[in-house]
Structure 1
Amino acid sequence: MNFHNVNLPKYIEIFAVGVSEFTTSCATSMSGREVRSSDSQIARRRYLLKGCRLSQLQFDAFNSFFIARAGKRFSFRLKDYFDFKVDKQIIATGDDIETKFQLKKLYQDDFAPYLRSITKPKISTLKLWLNNEEIVPQDIGLNDGIVNLGKPLPTGVKLVASFEFDVPVRFANDNFEYSFNKDGTISLDKAELIEVLE
């Protein structure tokens, strides 16, 4: 598995400017009508490290982090400060059979709600409830976000969860640009991250 269970340093994470994107094909018929089809059902996120001005010590740590990931070879964790938590959301309804459940986040919409699988939860923040009673699962998948209750969830019972999570990302390129500033700081230029869909 080409994943390292480490976070991008916090002093870099806060500079990440995010973009969430789908891939859609558009075609125009002879009558002029437009036909659109989704090439991807899942939104993929990109992050540009923009406006980063680092001290020499911070730059050295970032450079070491980049080298340890071998450029874009190994993915890692990133906290998206705009979207990193789930608060008391129903993640499953029991059928008296299933014992394992994928952590998910619901993006509510009256017409087309979107459900996102969460594979990199922060285990220490996870709380689960059954019938308003907090429970402790048998196991939690650190790298897949699967919760194992150890016994079937009773039919009709809702499993509710609150947690924080990271996004699995990799560097978009095998190189990055940097420049020195007159005040002695170092600027990162065009360093981009891309979400790894698992």
Structure 2
Amino acid sequence: MANFHEVSFPVPLALAATGGPERRTDVVTLASGAEARNAVWAGSRRRWDVGSAALKLDALQALVEFFEARGGRLHGFRFRDALDDRSCALGEMPTVTDQVIGTGDGAEMRFQLVKTYGDYARRILKPVAGSVLVAVNGVAAPFTVDEMTGEVTLDSAPEPGAVVTAGFRFDCAVRFDTDRLDITLEGFGAGKALRVPLIELVG
């Protein structure tokens, strides 16, 4: 992923974020009044705004420093979505059987981490270091993981038909969606960043 810094947006600031997944759908109303709908995007893309919450001056300074170090919109970074940051339900701990990431064919050893939402499989590109667990047919298997791409490499190829599963925590790859910060001071050692939009980078 080009122009990406493997650093995390400060978690205390992330907890004040508003936003979530976005889809792009064309909707055409026919002469009969019925609708024809077509998905323009194959998947979703997430947006957040981490501004508007009242913050102490040291937190605002940390935001400015982080923004400057990323060059505004130039460099991407990791962002922890407090509502959706793991392979299992919120509040639970990941297990080796949370998500199916592939089926063995006797030759393939590499599998991409994914999280499924019904029929939609979302590629997980930024797993949290040390959080990934992998199993073959429910039995923990030795592996390595590329924490910059979310690709898992097993030590040996699973036999044909074997189910490869994984559990993990993950960050989102994002960038600032502005080259300007508007900050207002409100007295008593606090202030607000009026608008700080973030947008997910889709690999």
TM-score by length of 2: 0.90
Counterpart AA for 2:80: K
Kindly report the root-mean-square deviation, in angstroms, between the aligned alpha carbons of the 2 structures.
1.4
Cα deviation, 1:109-148, whole Å, max 9, x if unaligned, reads xxxx2111100001311111123322220x3111110101
Structure 2 residue aligned with 1:141, among 143, 146, 152? Answer: 146
Counterpart AA for 1:189: L
Number of paired residues?
193
Percent of aligned pairs with the same amino acid: 32
Partner in structure 1 of residue 74 of structure 2: 73
Counterpart AA for 1:54: L
Partner in structure 2 of residue 16 of structure 1: 17
Q: Which runs of 5+ in 1 are unaligned?
A: none
| Contact 1:123–1:140 (Cα < 8 Å) also in 2 | no
In structure 2, the residue corresponding to 1:160 is in which secondary structure? strand
| Contact 1:8–1:78 (Cα < 8 Å) also in 2 | yes
Structure 2 residue aligned with 1:89, among 99, 104, 118? Answer: 99
Structure 1 residue aligned with 2:115, among 95, 105, 120? Answer: 105
Q: Cα distance, 1:50 vs. partner?
A: 4.1
Partner in structure 1 of residue 58 of structure 2: 57
TM-score by length of 1: 0.92
Matched, 1:197 2:198: no
Cα deviation, 1:16-75, whole Å, max 9, x if unaligned, reads 112211101122233333221111011110001144222222222211110111101111
| Contact 1:121–1:145 (Cα < 8 Å) also in 2 | yes
Partner Cα separation in structure 2 for residue 123 and residue 130 of structure 1: 21
Partner Cα separation in structure 2 for residue 31 and residue 10 of structure 1: 50
Q: Cα distance, 1:84 vs. partner?
A: 0.5
Cα deviation, 1:144-195, whole Å, max 9, x if unaligned, reads 1010114322111111211000000111111121111122202111111010
Q: Cα distance, 1:93 vs. partner?
A: 1.3
Q: Which runs of 5+ in 2 are unaligned?
A: 89-97
| Contact 2:131–2:168 (Cα < 8 Å) also in 1 | yes
Matched, 1:129 2:138: no
Partner in structure 1 of residue 46 of structure 2: 45
Partner Cα separation in structure 1 for residue 169 and residue 126 of structure 2: 9
In structure 1, the residue corresponding to 2:7 is in which secondary structure? strand
Partner in structure 1 of residue 158 of structure 2: 153
